[in-house]
Amino acid sequence: MKPHEIKLYFAYTSPYSYLAMQPAYDLEDSHNVRVRFIPYGVNIRKVYGPLDREDADRRKVRYLYIDARRIAKERGLVIYPPKMIFSARLAFYGGLYAAKNQQFRAYSDRVFDRFWRQELDVESRDDISAIVAEVGLDHAEFLRYVDADARADLDACFVEADRDKVFGMPTFIVDGEPFWGEDRIEWVISKLDAMGLRR
């Protein structure tokens, strides 16, 4: 039977997206599903409030990183909070290009790991191109993609996210139903089980 497609909206600059990746990969082993990974970004100031003053909004963001680091430590991952707000657009282009060439996981695993160790500048063409080459893809072709079709492809992802009423990452969409947050994975699994998709 053809695998049922589910979606995961993610961002390389979202620690909770990083934490959702392995559980998402695992779903393809435990259930007859294919996860389609869709890049998406939000304005962090709109989601969590202004970050330029010491108030409850800023404390909330700091606390969310504390929780993310706790979860990461349990899984043997490293999350160092970034020192600034980065645009993930170029990294998204790399992910889209890697997906077109069946190297999404190899590429994304490296981007997440290095970004959250503060070893990768996701806004650097050189850094992203190096990872593209590292996973066996043509970095010159990737840069041509960046300058030609990448923006339209990413815009299409954002349009799809709007149709799915996505407002934050990570968000799973299963049979049209949203599940926001890496900690909703058990509900995703229950939904897939109820759909008879357990292997």
Span 118-150, pLDDT tens digits: 999 999 999 999 999 999 999 999 999 999 999
- pLDDT number for residue 44: 47
* Residue 10 pLDDT level (bands cut at 50, 70, 90): very high
In a domain, 73, yes or no: yes
Task: Kindly calculate the radius of gyration of the chain based on its CA atoms and give it in whole angstroms.
Answer: 17
Pairing of strands 33-39, 4-10: parallel
* Residue 54 pLDDT level (bands cut at 50, 70, 90): low
Res 187 pLDDT > 70: yes
Mean pLDDT, the chain, integer: 92
In a domain, 174, yes or no: yes
Q: Residue 118 sits in which domain range?
A: 4-194
Peptide bond preceding 170 in cis form (omega within 30 of 0) = yes
In a domain, 140, yes or no: yes
In a domain, 152, yes or no: yes
In a domain, 86, yes or no: yes
* Residue 2 pLDDT level (bands cut at 50, 70, 90): very high
* Residue 59 pLDDT level (bands cut at 50, 70, 90): confident
In a domain, 199, yes or no: no
pTM across the whole model:
0.91
* C-alpha–C-alpha distance, residues 4 and 173, integer Å: 12
In a domain, 15, yes or no: yes
DSSP 86: P
Across residues 39-49, what is the average pLDDT? 61
In a domain, 154, yes or no: yes
DSSP 147-196: HHTHHHHHHHHHHHHHHTT--SSSEEEETTEEEESGGGHHHHHHHHHHTT
- How many domains, in total, are found in the chain? 1
Across residues 47-73, what is the average pLDDT? 75
- Domain holding 79: CATH number? 3.40.30.10
**Helix 104-116, helix 125-134: angle, nearest 10:** 130
